[in-house]
Amino acid sequence: MSFKDLGLSDALLKAISKKGYTTPSPIQAKAIPKILEGKDVLASAQTGTGKTAGFALPMLHIITQKPFQRQRPVKALIVTPTRELAAQILKEIKEYSEFTDVRSTVIFGGVNANPQIRALRQGTDILVATPGRLLDLHSQGVFNMKQVEFLVLDEADRMLDMGFVRDIKKILALLPSKRQNLLFSATFSKDIKKLAQTFLNNPVLVEAERQNSTAEKVKQTIYRTNKADKTDLVIKLISEGNWEQVLIFTRTKHGANRLAEKLDKADIKSAAIHGNKSQGARTKALAGFKDGTVRVLVATDIAARGLDIPLLPHVINYELPNIPEDYVHRIGRTARAGASGDAISIVSVDEFEYVRGIEKLLGEKLESVKMEGFDQTDNLQDVLDKQAANKAQHQQSRRNNPRGGGNRGGGSRNNNRRN
């Protein structure tokens, strides 16, 4: 099947060929015809499947079929959890709409709102937004959503994880009832299904390749070591392997900062990316990583989600996630687009239960390798006692120095995922 067979306009086909795409990805082949028919779609797809073009192309096709109004009210709204994802989606939309008259813009928090307000005041056909800034600027009367015909909720599961459920409900209540809805989510929890029922109309179900199959081309290895030796082991792997582009996952923002600093000291140029970093710092880190000036990007799960870094050769789990599905997302960052990749997990004695959970989800055992000079002599109880003591100390210092977390959006948040 070709893009032409999907019935997309010549202007879009020209942009697609300029991007160098020759065949639609499976999710595109399935979703595009349904969206063009005007159906609501519930799609299970994660980053790397081509899902952005899967919704952006038919949306652009539909929007360009009718003449534009002079005021350029927002016709299509794309809501997405993170700033990076929002910026990436806009970038893609701009590329696909290069040969059309469509106007698109993006709004997200963490940066000065004035340029965003100016862009909105000029009118935009497509608006990509994160939930908080969207509600904020809407409540200021900067734009209205009365003519929205097209809604995309992207990475809906992550939006719920990040506590955006109330914001999403508020947004839904502000939209006209007659519209086409698309919901993209990597996983389908009870909450996602519940949300889907509240606003999708007879949705067509579209599934990209099975969630766990990304793991197939990834070589997965475990190195067992003491907690205190993890950083040295990571340094040894990167230096001796001459690895040039490495994405490392930590569980906490603090841990990401600390590790990036230590790697820097060991002459491995690194940057951390997480929710506490300013937008400027995040963009700079990501750009450096892409152009090779930053060798290691240390990220938390939520920050890394949706980052478009193609063909990453190495992913390291400095700490394992306590949710097995997050492991699958993480290692899905390597071996994309058919290339092979390496996913390495540095596992301390207190993380064995996570290994078991991951193995159960994958239905296979992970290969364990020993690195010369690194033994695992930690005693589980000692490690757990030390963790409990650290946690108590941390809580005490927070009580003594309450600064508020700056979290917004309310809703239920899982502490382990608040990153």
Residues forming contacts to ligand AMP in the complex (CB under 6 A) are: 21, 24-25, 28, 47-53, 308, 310
As given in the structure block, the two tokens for residue 149 are 């015909």
Burial of residue 136, with CB atoms counted within 10 A of its CB: 0-12 exposed, 13-18 middle, 19 or more buried: middle
Q: Is the CB of 57 or the CB of 323 nearer to ligand AMP?
A: 57
Q: Is the CB of 51 or the CB of 230 nearer to ligand AMP?
A: 51
CA-nearest of 34, 29, 106, 97 to 60 is 97
Q: Cα–Cα distance between 52 and 50 in angstroms, integer? A: 6
Q: How far is the CB of 256 from ligand AMP (least distance, A)?
A: 23
Q: Is the CB of 47 or the CB of 100 nearer to ligand AMP?
A: 47
Could you tell me if 63 and 102 are in contact, meaning their C-beta atoms sit under 8 angstroms apart?
A: yes
**Which residue's entry shows tokens 């795409």?**
21
Q: Cα–Cα distance between 133 and 167 in angstroms, integer? A: 10
Q: How far is the CB of 337 from ligand AMP (least distance, A)?
A: 7
Could you tell me if 409 and 163 are in contact, meaning their C-beta atoms sit under 8 angstroms apart?
A: yes
**Which residue's entry shows tokens 């058919």?**
338
Q: Is the CB of 29 or the CB of 145 nearer to ligand AMP?
A: 29
Residues 6+ apart with CB under 8 A from 65: none
Could you tell me if 260 and 248 are in contact, meaning their C-beta atoms sit under 8 angstroms apart?
A: no
Q: Is the CB of 82 or the CB of 250 nearer to ligand AMP?
A: 82
Q: Is the CB of 117 or the CB of 309 nearer to ligand AMP?
A: 309
Could you tell me if 296 and 246 are in contact, meaning their C-beta atoms sit under 8 angstroms apart?
A: yes
Q: Is the CB of 51 or the CB of 282 nearer to ligand AMP?
A: 51
Q: How far is the CB of 338 from ligand AMP (least distance, A)?
A: 10
Q: How far is the CB of 311 from ligand AMP (least distance, A)?
A: 10
Q: How far is the CB of 16 from ligand AMP (least distance, A)?
A: 8
Identify each DSSP E strand in 310-398 by its residue range: 314-317, 341-347, 367-369
Q: How far is the CB of 17 from ligand AMP (least distance, A)?
A: 11
Q: Is the CB of 142 or the CB of 309 nearer to ligand AMP?
A: 309
**363: DSSP letter:** T
Q: Do you know the residue count of the chain? A: 419
Q: How far is the CB of 255 from ligand AMP (least distance, A)?
A: 26
Q: How far is the CB of 232 from ligand AMP (least distance, A)?
A: 35
Could you tell me if 146 and 176 are in contact, meaning their C-beta atoms sit under 8 angstroms apart?
A: yes
